[in-house]
Amino acid sequence: MSGLSHLDAQGRARMVDIGGKAETQRVAVALGTIRMAPATLAALRDGKAPKGDVLAVARIAGIMAAKRTAELIPLCHPLALDSVAVEFAFLADGIEARATASLTGRTGVEMEALTAVSVALLTVYDMAKAIDKAMVIDGVRLVEKRGGKSGDWRAP
């Protein structure tokens, strides 16, 4: 009907059958940022946030979220991930989160990488909102994927 893999011929939602697909190594990388006031950024950089080591907690939250993506997003396949890494970089006006998810399997890990970044950034917000409620999460996006039938892709 629409050419979308999650719709059947009648336009109804369905889970894609991946049973006949070959297992390949698959990797996805997602990025996102959280912008904040200079004082908030300094508190996080210096480890002086009231709730403790914000980035350590956010890293664990992102990894845990990637592992539970199929419970959060309808029609996603539950995946046995080989690896999930969440890293942070300080920017002039905030923090960038990068998540890399990988597995050997029949379907990609884009949603897992995107979920990891989103939840990691939400965790930063939650742990720092006592000092800055005006933080803004933005730019959550896939920047790279490798493997699978569609091959490799990198954002321009």
Catalytic residue positions, numbered: 126
Residue 55 three-state SS = helix
Residue 124's closest CA among 69, 66, 52? 52
Q: In what order do the strands lie in the sheet with 24-35?
A: 83-90, 94-105, 24-35, 136-146, 153-154
Residue the block writes with tokens 């490799």 = 152
* Distance in angstroms (rounded) separating the CA atoms of residues 62 and 78: 16
